[in-house]
Amino acid sequence: MSFLTGPMRKHLNGHKELTNHEDVLKVEVGNLVKIPLLNGNAPCTPCVKENDVVKVGTLIGERNDHFYVPLYSSVSGKVVKIEKLMSTALRPVEHVVIENDGKYEVERPFEPLDYESASREQLVDFMKNAGIVGCGGAGFPTYVKYLKPQNIDLLIINAVECEPYITADYKLMSENIDLLVTGVKALFKMSCAKECKVAIKVTKKDFIPVLEKAFANAEGISVFAVPDVYPMGWERTLVYEITKKRYDKLPAEAGCIVSNATTAISFANALVNGMPIVEKMVTVAGDGVKKNCNVSVRVGTSAKEIVAALGGYACDNVLLIAGGPMMGKTITTDEFVIGTYNNALTILKNKDLEALKCLRCGKCSDHCPAGLQPVRINNAKAAHDLDTVAALDAMSCIECGMCTYVCPSKINVTEGIREAKRLLALKKKK
Amino acid sequence: MKFTFKPSPNYRDSQSTQSIMRDLTIGLLVVFAFSLFYYVTGENLGVNYALRACGLLVTSVISAVVTEAIYFAFKKEPIIKSIKGSFGWVTAIILTLMCPINISYYALAISTILAIVFGKLVFGGFGQNIFNPAAFGRAIIMASFAGSVAVDFATSATPTASFAASGWLMSNETFSSFIAQFGGLSEMFIGRYPGAIGETSALVILLVGAFLVYRKVIDWKVIVAYLGTIFVSTLGIGLVNGQGMWYPIFHLLTGGVMFGAVFMLTDPVTNPTSSAGRIIFGIGAAFFTVLIRIKGNLPEGVLYSILLMNMLTPLIERLTTGNQIKIAKKNMRNVAIIFVACLAILLGVSTTMEAKEITINEPVEEIDGITGTAQGFGGEVSVTVATDENGIITKIVAEGTAETPNLGGAAISTFNSEGFAKFEGVALAEADFDTLDTITGSTVTSEAVIEALKQTQGGQTTTQEVTEETTAPTTTEEIDGIVGSAQGFGGEISVTVATDENGIITKIVAEGANETAGLGLDAIETFNNEGFAKFEGVALAEADFDTLDTITGSTVTSEAVIEALKQTQGETTTETTAPETTEAATEENDGIVGTAQGFGGEITVTISVDENGNITSVVAEGANETAGLGLDAIEKFNSEDFTEFEGVALAEADFSTIDTVTGSTVTSKAVVEAAQAAQSAAQQ
């Protein structure tokens, strides 16, 4: 049916070679560590106060709305204050500021668990307490997906990493292959699925055999090679690629659960070592930073510290992006810190692009992975025709950035859709 | 250190609108380069054709760019930058490639300017226009400058125009000789045949198209939907009408189909933006292309199909509104419905198609022989008869380049291929060319051919009697005297001999307007200027007219003149005046008769008057007029128009007030002329 919808995806130059073969650099965190009280877009409440002494693994905050997500300290030391600082959510949020004593004393918040002997419910509880969040970028609490799996046929482990520049998942997987296997097996058990597929780009030719070998003895788990296109790592695209099924809201409708490979590793780390997410693998890449490589940092390390460890910026005017260049947000300060679900800093030279008039080429419509017609949404928005904006299903936009990427006239299409969505949301409120 | 904020994504494809237009320009220039190659190497063409093509291209591009420069200057926008972002030259190149090589420079320049201004700029410039500006410009040329061509650049008939004249149907045998004119389907694929500057080479256009698709400059779906629908529908039409497998292939190769598919329909600005929409767009364009071809008045449908679909683009967009994944089934259904409906309509319409006879301009065989000429419908028709040493006809070839291609021209082809065959082997002197089967609908040409054939016999000193008449106006000195007449080659020849009171010849004037120009007429002129002089001063009664030197090659005329001269000796008492006009009016038993040349032959009008000179009846007759046209007109005159003259004095009747009948102008005029001839005859 793709001839009626367009390809809905596109191969991008991933620039993966910049960091693929570089060794991982360990960047030490500074004296003052700021840990954002943030999960996804939701704020968390602090569980510590000034002058409290914390260790690595001490609970310092909780998300307590309809989901529960605990936040743990990544260093040992004394809480200095709780302060509103700029965050990767593009707005100031509360951070727990800890004076790092440099000792990294550990206080295990939970004991390791043998996933083979534990029950499914025990594992879900364990996952919830360990604060395991989706590491694809959004930080969605993982346990929610596994609460009541019904009619699940397939567990998909997403190791696609389709954002350009980012190789953190790949690096983490290649360094922690045993944890990956453990984590995937545990998730597989929790999902009650009949089958598990580890999806990885077909272009990772050297790594696919490694994975296949690692999962050779795991019954029901196989490696599934997917094309090197964007946004292959998006749930809907990935589920469709593997099952040829579309779904309305959740992958469960198509009998699937999708979890990130890094999530599986984090989970395994909790199961085996009794450690929550206190360290992150972060790709730092782009022509705006002197050295490109993956860094291993504690949660709470600021972008400034990481860039300084890599030789500094390559020019005076950069786009500092938390995440990859497609979906990551530019942040106007490098004081923000790495949270539990950040995996990349993309630093690009700021080049001015001049937009031409839209030539109605329809490339945005052809490539929209959600099947939208961005050009028409923007035109309707410009004409203040919100009914048409709604009819064009603008709310299904995931802001993957494809429309802006493909636009030959260099129009900020995605930003237009965001505005259209905001206008729709405003209208709904009224 | 500056951290700039920009909304995501901050990653861009390397392809830009500028690179798209650059690739497109390169592609178009490759097509143009092929045309130059064709002009330089082609038969009957040459470097001057290639230079003209370059001149046209430059003219159009300059017109486009200057127009935009003035527009942007007027709007106080940065001129160079705006021109670079407006891509007017692409429109200019496409427009030039769609034009014939002989289009005049000024027509191209004006249509380019109009295309840029009214096709693009008034809508808001690049990206905002409703119509494909190049198609818009081409339509202006078709509507306003079709005749504005450089005459010294001959263009032969294009396959499309010729095939269109056949009603887009042809028997398989005719097609093979038809397509042979252009070197066969393979040569049409390569593109070395007459046509618009850049539209002929399917091969080059497809290669460039493949390059552009590969470079993601154009969308293959439009091309495939368009060409696919044309192929399927014309295949069906061909099957319905008994055409061969060549039929859909010819449809694809001829005219602007390939060029339109690759360079015009894919124009993103005037296209729907969704994939489903573009497929519908391609199907619809194919529908209109084929429909206009098989049923329209235009030879080619590509141009207007593009403009029509441009207008439908907003509707198609509306049809595909929604999440393309969620409405995929609906889109699929709509595409299927539209495709099937278009196909059904085309097949249904095609059942009423009618094949028309067309000329196939096969090279005329040149033979040595006796040539005769006569006036055809559009100009001179010449016939060459080759004979062997015994005067036996070996071959007859007629030629009439000025004849209407599908009527007279077709008739001549038929004569050459079939009609003349029966005279081969017959002695020229004995051949009865009146037995040549005339072609219905091409009476004038047919008769001209017969006349020309008979002329070749006259050149052979034949005595065969000829009754055909032609109209060759001559002016002869009018004198009073004794008139004698005799039957010449083409009609009556009259000779007037003037004498003084003593019966001494003072002057002799011969007249025979119906004699063949170049032969009989020349002879008469020679007699008037020289031959008769020796009789002046001789007593009429004693003149020996047999001593008149006959003119070789015009024996019949010469002898008729001598006969007429002798008559004057026998009738010395008769004094008449020479007839004034060649359209002889004779009074018959029941009325005055006037004649004139109609479409198919002579038309006579008989006017009856009563003793007071009042008209009692006017009756026109013209059995040779075309049934349904001329004949109907005559009937209408008899039953309506002429009845108004009854009771009117003949001398006062004004026949020029008769309304001519549309479609039968020649017949109508002839009837009026004949009536006036009768009127003037009666007045004498």
Residue A420, domain member (yes or no) = yes
pLDDT at B561: 82
Residue B359, domain member (yes or no) = no
Partners of residue A418 in chain B, C-beta under 8 Å:
7
pLDDT at B465: 41
Residues 232-271 of chain B whose Cβ lies under 8 A from any Cβ of chain A: 268-271
**In this complex, is the C-beta atom of A422 within 8 Å of any C-beta atom belonging to chain B?**
no
Average pLDDT, chain A: 91
B50 lies in the same domain as B115:
yes
B346 lies in the same domain as B379:
no
pLDDT at B588: 43
At B465, phi and psi to the nearest 5?
Answer: -80, 135
What's the domain count of chain B? 5
Q: What is the pTM of this model?
A: 0.72
Helices (H), B263-327: 275-295, 302-319
| CA-angle at B340, arms to B338 and B342, nearest 5° | 65
Residue B8, domain member (yes or no) = no
What's the domain count of chain A? 1
**In this complex, is the C-beta atom of B461 within 8 Å of any C-beta atom belonging to chain A?**
no
Q: What is the CATH number of the domain that holds B386?
A: 3.90.1010
Residue B139, domain member (yes or no) = yes
B148 lies in the same domain as B165:
no
pLDDT at B470: 41
**In this complex, is the C-beta atom of B272 within 8 Å of any C-beta atom belonging to chain A?**
yes
| Residue numbers of chain B with a pLDDT score lower than 70 | 151, 154-155, 358-367, 378-379, 401-407, 459-479, 518, 571-590, 684
pLDDT at B477: 55
The pairing of strands B591-597 and B602-609 is: antiparallel
- Is the Cβ pair A325, B321 closer than 8 Å? no
pLDDT at B402: 60
For B329, the closest chain A residue by CA position comes to: A1
- Distance CA(B682)–CA(B684), nearest Å, equals 5
pLDDT at B478: 61
Report residue B373 as tokens.
């000429």
Best B1, B2, B10, B338 residue to mutate vs chain A (most A CBs within 10 Å): B10
pLDDT at B552: 74
B390 lies in the same domain as B447:
yes
* Interface predicted TM-score of the whole assembly (ipTM), two decimals: 0.90
B59 lies in the same domain as B98:
yes
**In this complex, is the C-beta atom of B80 within 8 Å of any C-beta atom belonging to chain A?**
no
B331 lies in the same domain as B446:
no
Report residue B522 as tokens.
């020349």
- Distance CA(A221)–CA(A243), nearest Å, equals 15
Q: How far is CA A427 from CA A419, A420, B322, B498, B640, in A?
A: 12, 10, 19, 111, 76
Over pLDDT 70: what percentage of chain A?
Answer: 99
Residue B473, domain member (yes or no) = no
CA dihedral B200, B204, B206, B211 (to 10 degrees): -150
Residue A409, domain member (yes or no) = yes
Domain's final residue, options B322, B350, B378: B350
Domain of B392 in residue numbering reads as: 370-458
- Is the Cβ pair B221, A358 closer than 8 Å? no
Q: How far is CA B553 from CA A143, B265, B472, B560, B668, in A?
A: 116, 65, 19, 13, 38
B378 lies in the same domain as B341:
no
pLDDT at B53: 95
More confident residue, A333 or B659: A333
Residue B7, domain member (yes or no) = no
Domain's final residue, options B317, B350, B383: B350
Residue A231: cis peptide before it, omega within 30 degrees of 0: yes
Pick A365's closest partner by Cβ from B3, B126, B274: B274
At A257, phi and psi to the nearest 5?
Answer: -120, 135
Residue found under tokens 């469709």: A240
For A346, the closest chain B residue by CA position comes to: B10
Best A236, A247, A249, A373 residue to mutate vs chain B (most B CBs within 10 Å): A373
- Is the Cβ pair A5, B125 closer than 8 Å? no
Contact (CB, 8 A) for A273 and A173? no
Report the number of secondary-structure helices (H) and strands (E) in chain B.
Answer: 22, 12
pLDDT in tens, A3-24: 788 889 999 998 988 988 888 9
For A315, the closest chain B residue by CA position comes to: B1
Domain of A368 in residue numbering reads as: 359-429
- Give the residue-averaged pLDDT of A255-279: 93
Best A359, A364, A409, A422 residue to mutate vs chain B (most B CBs within 10 Å): A359
The pairing of strands A32-36 and A53-54 is: unpaired
CA dihedral B627, B629, B631, B633 (to 10 degrees): 160
Q: Which residue type occupies B307? A: L
Residue A403, domain member (yes or no) = yes
Residues 226-265 of chain A whose Cβ lies under 8 A from any Cβ of chain B: 246
Contact (CB, 8 A) for A144 and A254? no
Domain's final residue, options B527, B543, B577: B577
B170 lies in the same domain as B316:
yes
B308 lies in the same domain as B182:
yes
What lies within 8 Å, CB to CB, of B661 at 6+ separation is: B632, B633, B636, B667, B668
B538 lies in the same domain as B657:
no
Lowest mean pLDDT among A229-238, A338-347, B208-217, B629-638: B629-638
pLDDT in tens, A148-185: 888 899 999 999 999 999 999 999 999 999 999 999 99
Residue B599, domain member (yes or no) = yes
B225 lies in the same domain as B344:
yes
Q: Which residue type occupies A296? A: S
B645 lies in the same domain as B595:
yes
